[in-house]
Each structure stands twice: as structure tokens, then as C-alpha cells.
Structure 1
């Protein structure tokens, strides 16, 4: 497996082809601090780190800029935040008090959350703030170019807008000197010689209305800002950006931005990579303001960082449904990737020849194999046991390792350090309590199906059987009672695990114990009112 086969290296080589002999490269990511950073924000930074590390590995000097648009106006009060924030709707988030009273502003609090996420991952980036960059003059040259090309920009941008918005669109928002809002102002005239604009604050911004103030202000040094579709390419120009990763929902804006860079700022367009969107469990795009955005800390409460990075690394151009209930399978898969690396590590570890596990660990894999476990089965085991004593669970985990190794599946908790075992046991307990316990898989059984289940319970109590014998018995019962095999397994998973699918029963039941399994089935039958 060579580096060229790994997508971060393919992206790195694309960038190198555009550097024209330069060794320095600037990669950008963006964050709108109008709400807490979610997994999409984290994902952009981590994926950009993947590419930056590939560049560094190939002998280049990448820098990552995370640009926080803290001049963005607050459009709505985020779900779960105090209602008094409604008094600040339309104001730049850098001027809104921190509702948690630990930082100097709303946006600085969101920045603090982002920094912790990034630092905990061992990732690297430098932070720039829209308010500071505009005020310091970083965007002045871009704004001057905009003011000299207003009509060209209107021809490029207005066709993408609704007729109502397009009729009043102008490529600059003055900050109202009376109410402090940005997006409610409308430029009425420009004076290039004095570098000023006349404006009126008579617009609407969501539920926010302008105050009606008329004024004149400079268009430089932070007295206003460019609208999003112009601000983004202006960043590329002002910060000398070479590359940015963005979501599929911004394809049109990125294409427009490249045209603006070429025709207004007179620079070659940057390179971009598009990733598919993250969706929540119901298929909705994750959203900070609507309250259905998954925080990476939630993933890490139950899973491992390697599993989170694997989810970000795998097929970035394929949409991913972030159902936290699927997280244990990512943990198992990440363990598998690690196992492959440690078996073959002598083949890798050199510039230009990297293993995917090295990418997941940001080119800093542990010196020795920390070991691994069948985490998905451990979570199901904890749920079925009803036991929460970590020492007891740990004994079952070792029993699980023995069973799994007998199947030669590659997992071996016995080779793991004690810290990893303790961590996985603790996380499995939390996952069983918080996630599995909330599932509902109530089943309705026909008389025939109920009789098959009772026969299985009697079988489990009749002697000691191997996993293979138990698995075969399920197939036999399905045939004897004329029940389809998928239906038979679905019934047993519902009664044992309160879910419609699960681990191989011939593998799982010997670990849980035949009598405990029988007890579990009988308790479920009683709960569903199906017991004699």
C-alpha cells in the first residue's frame, strides 16, 4: 500500500503541482462561531491536517489557517441557549456577551471549544478572526478591488439570488453606526476618492429589522464586511490560500469564488476538495442552530479517537449518517486497521509510504501495539448482563477475548495494556446505559414462534454446548417450526438484546452464559406479556 493510494497524498500532490516551485503552502478551513463547533467543523480541520501532514511528509511546509467569521450576525438563538440572546439578533457574534460568562464574547467561547477539540486531537492550525483581519486592514486591498468591480460582481452573484434579494444586493455591508447591525444595511452610493459609502439601515435579516438610520462610513479597516459569497474568495486572496476542503453544499459558492478570484482579484483560483455532508440519524444535515449537530466529544464519550478519525478518513466524498449507535462498529474497524499496521509496520513508516493507520494517528502511531477488543460485542454483552461493576465486566471482556481468538478474528484484549481495557469497559458501560437501553425492539410472536422460543430456552438449560452447536440449534428450530431464518434471529436478538440485529449468537451466548441468556429471554417474554 503506497502513499499515492491514500487520498491525503493524492491531494498533496495536486497542491504541489500548483505551487510552481514554492515549498510553502497555505491551507484554510472556516468556522462560523454562531454556535458550538460540531463534527463537521472538527472534520474539516482533521481532514485538512491529513493533507497538511502528507505535504510535510513529502518535504513541503504547510500552514493551516482556521478562519473564524466572528463578524457574522447572529441569525437565531441556538437550541438550548438562553432566550436573552434574542436581544442581540443581527449583531456580530464577536460583540455578543458570552452566555456562559467565561470568555469575552459569544464567538470567543465557541473558539475556546474549538481549540480544545483540536488540541486534544493533537492536530495543528492557527486561528484568524474576521473582526481582527478586517480591522487591521488585511482585507483592504480586496475591498478596494470589490469597489472598483461592483457591476462585474453583480453580474456574477445576482443570478444566484432570489429576485427580492438580488434587487438590493451590493457587495458590501456597512456596519450601522446607530444599532450596530451589519446585514440590515444597504449601500446607496460609493465614493471611491474618499473611500466611503452612504448607507441606510432599512433591511431585514431573519426576524431582525433595520433601525432606519442613514449614514456615511469608510469601507475599509473594519467599518463593514463583504457578503459571504464575496468574503470567501476575498479570504483566499488576502491570506494567499492555496487549498481548502469544503462541503458539498458549498459547491456553487466555491465555483463562484474561483471566478471572483480570477476576474476581480486577478489571481489564479485555488484548489479545493469537496466532501459529502454529514447527516444525523434521521438523514438531516447537521445544524448548530437547530440543535441536531453531533459534538465530537459525544463520539469520544463512547468511542475512541482512532474510530472518529477513521470515520472522517474513509470515503470523504460519500455521505455519512452519524448515528451514534453505529459507533462501536467504527471502533472495531479502527482496531482492525491498527492490527494490520502493526503486523506490517516494517513496510511503512517512511515518507511517501504510509499506512492508513499512520494517517488516523496524524503520523504519530504508538510505538507498540496497544491491543484491541471486539468493542461492539462488549457493549451488547454489558447491556445483556445488566451488570455495571467494572471488575466483573472486565472478567467478561477477557472471556470475550478468549472466545474471539478461538475464532481467529484478530482481536486480542489480553495483549492490550490495562489502561485501554479499563477505558473500553468504562465506555461500554456508558454506551449500554445511554444508547442501547433507550432502544425499543418489542416483538409480537405467533403461537408457533413463541413455542420455538420456549424450545430454545429449554435447550439452553439442558446442558453445555459449544458456540457452533448453539448456532446450529437456531437454524434447526427455524426449520422445525417453519420460521424463516432471518425472522428467527430477529426474534432472539429482540428478546436477548432489545434490538433487531446483533453479534453471531453462537459466539455471543457462550460468553454471556447459557443460563443468563435463558433468563434474559424469559424476562423479555414477561415484559412483553408473552410468558405463561
Structure 2
């Protein structure tokens, strides 16, 4: 295993990630998935790999039911669960949960479930017990590794008019607009708003609204966070003084 700088992990250097640390910030299945997948390949082992491992575990688990026998045998989740996968699905990605708790700040588990009710039918711990556990991991990871790195900047240039347009478009949507409806609006503004590439628009949204260089599909995030709350983020960004 390698650390985030590509150096071999050493007890003397203290540059490793302990089992207890991983299980604080991600479920046991994600660790098993990460260890089992490509076992002969040198892997990075640091806090930054946990969110991706969680989401990839669920992606492979979601694919399992539609795979033929050969594909199932090559799927790491088959071996993690001895071919008897638990029932249930994950209606949101771990990455999206981290974006949510990052914006919420000092959030409680009940508050996270409150936002999930905007996005997930029958959102409850009883209906989604694995999501309930994942929220605990997201709150811990967000508190220790996401929140300290967030820094929202003021929009500049064509970003200002694009955010104003996004706010107006969101204001015209019904409260129960789908993530796809919102994503189509975001995409259209990016194509016609004077940006050199769509990536520049998405990056601007992440940096001005979420405070990070990377982020989720904005349609999904806005639907989860709520249109009114998302418009407040836009208003805050537009009111932010330039550095």
C-alpha cells in the first residue's frame, strides 16, 4: 500500500491508515472491496480513497443482479458476500452525501434525513438501514476532512450572469422538479453562457456554491438540497466580495 504521496506505508513514518480509522469514515464492505479489487496492484491507502471505495462498492453491487455467471464471479462483491448479496439499494451516492453535509455545516443526522426526504421516496432509516449507517460515516468524514478544506470564492466574469440566470430558472421551477429537469437547465446555461467549456461552468459552480474544486451532478445536488436552499447559496455567492 502507498500513501497519498505514492510512498510505501511505514509504521515508523506513521503515514498509514488504520483499520479503525477506515471503519470510522466508511463501512466494512467498502474496505473489503478496496482490498479485494485488483489485489496484485499497488494501492494508495489514505483518507482520500474512502469515498470512492464506498461508491464503487455500491456501483459493483448494483451491477451484480444483471450480470451473467462469469461476470458475477469476477465481481468483487460476489466474494465479499460469499455470493449472497444483501438486499437493498443506495438511493444517493456517498459523494453526494458528503457534498450535502459540507454545505450544511454542523449538521445532525435528523437534519440530513430531512433533506433526503426532498429527494428519496419514503426516506427513513427503516426503509434504508444501510443509508442510515452511511450518514454517520458521511457526518464524520465531512467534519474531519471536508469542512476544513471548503473555501467558497466570489463568481467573476461570465460566471456572474450565469449564476443570475440559474437563479431565475430555478425560481420558475416547481418545488418538486426532478434532478433531471434541473440538470438540463444547468447544462443549457453552460452551453450558452459564454464559457469556453462546460467543465469551466461546472468548476465555477463547485467553487462558488460548494467551496470545492470537484463536485456532484448539480441537478442531483440541487434536487437534494432543495431549490429554495440552493437559491440561497447562489445569492450568497453573488453577494460575496471579490478577493
Do both proteins adopt the same fold according to a TM-score greater than 0.5, normalized to the shorter chain?
yes
Contact 1:303–1:328 (8 Å) recurs in 2: yes
C-alpha separation between the residues in 2 aligned to 1:417 and 1:431? 23
Which of 256, 274, 287 in structure 1 is aligned with 2:10?
A: 287
Map 1:355-504 → 2, pairs under 5 A: 356-361=76-81, 363=82, 365=84, 368-373=86-91, 374-386=93-105, 388-402=107-121, 419-443=129-153, 445-464=155-174, 465-483=177-195, 484-504=197-217
Residue aligned with 2:38, SS: coil
Contact 1:371–1:415 (8 Å) recurs in 2: no
Contact 1:358–1:365 (8 Å) recurs in 2: yes
Task: State the 1:498 CA deviation.
Answer: 1.6
C-alpha separation between the residues in 1 aligned to 2:204 and 2:184? 16
Deviations 1:403-429 (A, max 9, x none): xxxxxxxxx977976643331121111
Where relative contact order (Cα < 8 A, 6+ residues apart) is larger, the structure is: 2
C-alpha separation between the residues in 1 aligned to 2:235 and 2:131? 31
Map 1:344-363 → 2, pairs under 5 A: 356-361=76-81, 363=82
List, as ranges, runs of 4+ consecutive aligned residues in structure 1 with deviation greater than 6 Å.
412-416
Which of 337, 341, 353 in structure 1 is aligned with 2:60?
A: 337
C-alpha separation between the residues in 1 aligned to 2:159 and 2:74? 53
C-alpha separation between the residues in 1 aligned to 2:100 and 2:39? 32
C-alpha separation between the residues in 2 aligned to 1:359 and 1:454? 50
Measured at CA, do residues 397 and 466 of structure 1 come closer, stay the same or move farther in structure 2, by a change above 3 Å? closer
Contact 1:387–1:393 (8 Å) recurs in 2: no
Map 1:85-96 → 2, pairs under 5 A: none
Contact 1:302–1:430 (8 Å) recurs in 2: yes
Which has the larger strand fraction? 1
C-alpha separation between the residues in 2 aligned to 1:497 and 1:302? 21
C-alpha separation between the residues in 2 aligned to 1:455 and 1:317? 50
Measured at CA, do residues 480 and 296 of structure 1 come closer, stay the same or move farther in structure 2, by a change above 3 Å? same
Structure 1, unmatched stretches of 5+, are: 1-277, 403-411
Which has the larger helix fraction? 2
Length-normalised TM-score, structure 2: 0.80
Contact 2:118–2:226 (8 Å) recurs in 1: no
Structure 2, unmatched stretches of 5+, are: none
Task: State the 1:503 CA deviation.
Answer: 1.6
Q: Which has the larger radius of gyration?
A: 1
Contact 2:154–2:237 (8 Å) recurs in 1: no
Aligned CA RMSD, in angstroms, stands at 3.3
Contact 2:155–2:237 (8 Å) recurs in 1: no
Task: State the 1:307 CA deviation.
Answer: 0.7
Contact 1:279–1:320 (8 Å) recurs in 2: yes
Residue aligned with 1:291, SS: coil
Contact 2:105–2:147 (8 Å) recurs in 1: no
Length-normalised TM-score, structure 1: 0.40
C-alpha separation between the residues in 2 aligned to 1:476 and 1:303? 36
